[in-house]
């Protein structure tokens, strides 16, 4: 009897172990199938993304092939010395001349805007397009800085001719004393040079102006009166109290900038106004003041003269 019971118990134990093993195997198979499904879903998603990118690539290729520039390059356009011109080739048979002119105008416009945008990016300027009625104008913005601080922007709007092959100045906010007319003569020959030239004039003007403002605001205790300037700050005059000399005196100083592109004076005039100082000492002091004022920015030079 006891042997029968033991046999039944061993049989039950073996059956339970087998059942447990089957359940474990089933779970592993289920996990494997679930991972396979997730992997397949991920793979499908990647394939769809690749297909979408391929479609986008094909569309971009098509757009590039159909641009006016590409069409003209392949059929009727030549470039000589950087200038666009109509080709003299004989393979233009069957091409509509009106379509050619429209495509040429569009290509010239795109080229001008691309050149301008690239130029402004290189020089730290910004360029945008604005609508004026039915016509599109190009706006250039020059941001100005002094000693790492932002000052103010200056703007210029350019308009294209009817055939889009030339640019002209529509309006601007540049200072009136800048030689705009002479600079604009090279606008259509070298737009990079034009943008850089305007930038150089603005930077020089801002530098001279901020030197004078800094002198007036931060060194007014050693000034006898106010700083006087011309509109373009190419002429700056002030009276400086020299109290650190063995014989205190006041010097009348005039700085002259012969060129609006200069940030340091080309000429310095010094005259001792008052004070009990000998002629030789006065001459020596004037030469010293001239050398310091010519070698350093105005506010730094005054610091050295305190």
Residues 268 and 255 sit within 8 Å (Cβ to Cβ): yes
Smallest CA-to-CA distance from 157 within 146, 181, 173 is with 173
The band of 82, judged by pLDDT with boundaries at 50, 70 and 90, is very low
The band of 1, judged by pLDDT with boundaries at 50, 70 and 90, is low
Q: Is 228 left (phi over 0), alpha (psi -120 to 50) or beta?
A: beta
Smallest CA-to-CA distance from 72 within 101, 98, 93 is with 101
**From residue 36, how far is each of 26, 30, 31, 195 by CA, in Å?**
15, 10, 8, 61
Express each pLDDT in 138-187 by its tens digit. 888 899 888 878 889 999 998 877 666 678 888 999 999 999 999 888 78
* pLDDT value of residue 176: 94
110, HSE (Cβ side, Cα atoms, 13 Å)? 12
**From residue 133, how far is each of 109, 126, 137, 157, 158 by CA, in Å?**
18, 22, 10, 14, 14
209, HSE (Cβ side, Cα atoms, 13 Å)? 15
Q: Which of 68-77, 189-198, 224-233 has the highest mean pLDDT?
A: 224-233
Express each pLDDT in 37-64 by its tens digit. 777 777 788 788 888 888 878 777 766 5
State the pTM of this model: 0.60
Q: Give the span between the Cα atoms of 246 and 145, in whole angstroms.
A: 40
Q: Give the span between the Cα atoms of 110 and 16, in whole angstroms.
A: 81
């Amino acid at each position: 009897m006891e042997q029968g019971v033991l046999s039944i118990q061993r049989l039950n134990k073996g059956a339970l172990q087998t059942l447990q093993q089957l359940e474990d195997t089933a779970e592993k198979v289920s996990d494997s199938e679930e991972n396979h499904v997730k992997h397949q879903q991920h793979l499908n998603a990647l394939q769809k993304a690749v297909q979408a990118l391929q479609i986008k690539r094909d569309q971009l290729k098509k757009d590039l092939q159909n641009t006016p520039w590409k069409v003209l390059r392949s059929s009727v356009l030549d470039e000589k010395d950087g200038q666009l011109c109509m080709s003299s080739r004989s393979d233009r048979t069957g091409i509509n001349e009106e379509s050619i002119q429209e495509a040429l105008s569009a290509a010239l416009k795109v080229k001008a805007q691309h050149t301008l945008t690239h130029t402004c990016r290189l020089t730290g300027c910004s360029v945008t397009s604005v609508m004026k009625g039915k016509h599109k104008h190009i706006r250039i913005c020059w941001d100005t800085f002094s000693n790492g601080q932002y000052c103010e922007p200056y703007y210029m709007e350019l308009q294209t001719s009817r055939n889009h092959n030339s640019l002209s100045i529509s309006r601007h906010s540049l200072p009136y004393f800048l030689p705009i007319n002479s600079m604009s003569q090279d606008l259509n020959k070298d737009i990079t040079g034009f943008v850089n030239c305007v930038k150089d004039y603005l930077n020089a003007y801002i530098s001279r102006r901020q030197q004078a403002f800094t002198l007036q605001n931060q060194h007014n205790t050693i000034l006898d009166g106010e700083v006087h300037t011309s509109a373009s700050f190419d002429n700056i005059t002030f009276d400086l109290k020299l109290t650190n000399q063995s014989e205190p005196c006041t010097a009348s100083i005039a700085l002259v900038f012969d060129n609006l592109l200069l940030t340091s004076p080309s000429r310095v005039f010094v005259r001792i106004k008052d004070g009990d100082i000998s002629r030789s000492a006065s001459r020596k002091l004037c030469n010293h003041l001239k050398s310091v004022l010519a070698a350093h920015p105005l506010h730094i030079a005054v610091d050295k003269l305190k």
